[in-house]
Chains A and B, each alone.
Chain A
């Protein structure tokens, strides 16, 4: 009789923790909301691009290649369906990350080019757009960091014992995470070149 009561008491207390089911749900929702925030900030950056391109074109219309590069990269980003389901599909996630990375590269090429146009740099509208772009890039970084943390909590939650049993039972898999592109490129130090840039074509 006593043994029965003991087992019942232990089971009752165990049910308070649900052996992790609620924890998995909570973490899953946090990953979803962190991912929505990341998408939100990427969208904000994509929305800035047309204004930026127009403002630069006003002063530097001969830089056609670079401007076209930015516009194309933005179109590519817009064509990828960015949904909350991306976190569950590592292949699609990697494609999304690659497209955003291309936009980043195109934008930095554009910024390098604008260094040659002092008139552009002193334009107030361009200055505002630049600060908006920097702010958005920072927000993207913060959102990504929070997403990475949320995914880490979630993945750890479904991999540690005993919650991994619950996860296996209900079919919860690990979620996709951001990877560092071009790891090899980053690990070599960039070459700094102070030779004077070629004069801008007039």
Chain B
């Protein structure tokens, strides 16, 4: 039920934004979005509301964090008994 998907902001009018994901366009409220998005930003949308502005840098960081995690796993600690 807490399903939410990233969607691109196409235009903004007051508290409403027109958003798109893979060609599916809809209108969402920005009333509870954590940061005001700009056109071209991605937001996470849940039940008709944008709830989070995706920061491209954080998203990029999270991908490199995944790579770090893999590197660390190769030499990770074992369980000490």
A binds B: no
Instruction: List chain A positions with a Cβ less than 8 A from chain B.
Output: none
